[in-house]
Structure 1
Amino acid sequence: MNVEPQIQLRLLELAALDTESAQISHRRRVLPEQQEVTRLEGERNRYRDAAATVEIAIEDLDRDIRKLEDEVDSVRQREERDRAMLQAGTVAAKQLTDLQHELGALERRQSTLEDDLLDVMERREAADADHQHAGAQLSRAEADLTDATRLRDEAVADLDVAENRCRTGRDEIVTIFPTELLDRYERQRERHGIGAALLRARRCGACRIELDRGELARIAKTAPDVVVTCPECGAIMVRTAESGL
């Protein structure tokens, strides 16, 4: 294949754009800012779950408190009723004994219920402290996630700009290449990632392998407009004064 040396030289521009595009795609896949967002999303979700668990526990404790308060109030009302009957002096002797026993039982029951209520209220207070702590952790995690998301979006926007620049540059430069040359370049790029490279100091810029003397002598005798390829990797080698021929 014969192509003007000036056109062959422009392959290096195309290869540089394609290399940069590949680097952008790789960076997009392993973007540190995205990894940080993913990590913080997991942390935020854990704190959110922890806060929800505490909220459920608080709801259960509040329900227990209301139930115990109702029971204490019921026992107290019954005790007050019995004491009123006792003070009225209208209770028969046999009923008096039963009433006194019942008052004793009600007092013990009320004491037990009040102890239980105090225990549940203490647990409710501790749960409220846990909920406040979980809420603070969640707020910090959400703030960190907001900041990380902003940095991720800025990084992605920068990649988009670079990618669009590479795409525009590529669309402009590919029009100057003969179809056969461009097809060979694209096939090589699909196989090995690099379609063309500079032959510098007797070394292929694509695979970095130094050519032997026989191959270098053959290339040196080849006309400048003949497209030459690396015998090792197959990349198109662009010859310049730096090639060492």
Structure 2
Amino acid sequence: MNAAPADQIRLLDVQSLDVRLTQLAHKRKNLPELAEIQTLEADLTQQRDLLVAAQTEESDTAREQTKAEQDVDQVRQRAARDQQRLDSGAVTSPKDLENLQREIASLAKRQADLEDVVLEVMERRESAQERARELTERVAAVQAKVNDAVARRDAAYAEIDTEAATVTKERELTVADIPADLLKLYDKLRAQQGGVGAARLYQRRCEGCRLELNITEINDVRAAAADKVLRCENCGRILVRTPDSGL
């Protein structure tokens, strides 16, 4: 393949632009904010799960407290009725009086036990409420960190995308005058060779594979016509001659 020396040198400009685009893509994919957001979102999910658990416990204990308080009221009302009967003098039979007094004492014991249950449930509910308040604050704090990291990520994305658009436009202008067959070969080699399709021959060394050409290869390069498209014998990339090639 033949191509004007100027077109071959222009390939180096395209290669430089492609390297920059690759760097920008890598930078975009590996922003530190991405790992930070991932860690924060995992923490946020965990804190939200804990908050839901605390809120569920608070709701359950609220219902449990209501039920326990209703049980206390029922026992208290029954004891009050029995006490009223006892105080009214309507019960005159010694046996009935004894049974009534025994029931009042039993109800008093039952009421005390139920009131203990109410207190225990109240303590668990207050603990759940406090836990829910703490977790609500924690969720809000982590969410704020997520929002900040997302904002920084988006700002970085915008900066990178702006530069990438500029470089892409410059590449389009640069390749416009390069022969299609030469550009096709370059793109093919770039895909095969880790993003580098053309390399400068600098001081007898291929800047693609960093290997120095041997004397036979140097002589072949010297003998080649200026418009001949050369390939590195070691890496296969397009080898572009410049005044600094050391020939």
| TM-score, normalised by the number of residues in structure 1 | 0.96
Give the superposition deviation at 1:240. Answer: 1.2
- 2:161 and 2:239 mapped to 1: Cα distance? 31
**Aligned residue type for 1:89:** G
The residue number in structure 2 matching 1:12 is 12
Give the superposition deviation at 1:25. Answer: 2.0
Give the superposition deviation at 1:14. Answer: 0.3
- 1:92 and 1:149 mapped to 2: Cα distance? 82
The residue number in structure 2 matching 1:28 is 28
- 1:139 and 1:124 mapped to 2: Cα distance? 22
**Aligned residue type for 2:212:** E
- 2:92 and 2:211 mapped to 1: Cα distance? 117
- 1:107 and 1:244 mapped to 2: Cα distance? 109
Over aligned residues, Cα RMSD in angstroms? 1.2
The residue number in structure 1 matching 2:159 is 158
Q: Give the % identical residues.
A: 39
Matched, 1:167 2:168: yes
- 1:77 and 1:66 mapped to 2: Cα distance? 16
- 2:207 and 2:218 mapped to 1: Cα distance? 14
Give the superposition deviation at 1:140. Answer: 0.8
- 1:92 and 1:173 mapped to 2: Cα distance? 116
The residue number in structure 2 matching 1:199 is 201
Q: Deviations over 1:96-142 (max 9, x none)?
A: 11110110110000000011111111111111221111112111100
What SS class does the counterpart of residue 241 from structure 1 fall into? Answer: coil
Q: Deviations over 1:25-73 (max 9, x none)?
A: 2223322212211221111111111100000000011011000110111
What SS class does the counterpart of residue 108 from structure 1 fall into? Answer: helix
The residue number in structure 1 matching 2:145 is 144
Give the superposition deviation at 1:222. Answer: 1.8
- 1:129 and 1:213 mapped to 2: Cα distance? 81
The residue number in structure 2 matching 1:224 is 226
The residue number in structure 1 matching 2:84 is 84
- 1:178 and 1:107 mapped to 2: Cα distance? 103
Unaligned runs of 5+ in 1: none
- 2:17 and 2:91 mapped to 1: Cα distance? 106
| TM-score, normalised by the number of residues in structure 2 | 0.95
- 1:179 and 1:149 mapped to 2: Cα distance? 42
The aligned length equals: 245
Unaligned runs of 5+ in 2: none
- 2:127 and 2:168 mapped to 1: Cα distance? 60
Give the superposition deviation at 1:176. Answer: 0.7
The residue number in structure 1 matching 2:103 is 102
- 2:239 and 2:32 mapped to 1: Cα distance? 35
What SS class does the counterpart of residue 119 from structure 1 fall into? Answer: helix
Matched, 1:131 2:132: yes
Out of 210, 216, 219, the position equivalent to 1:208 is 210
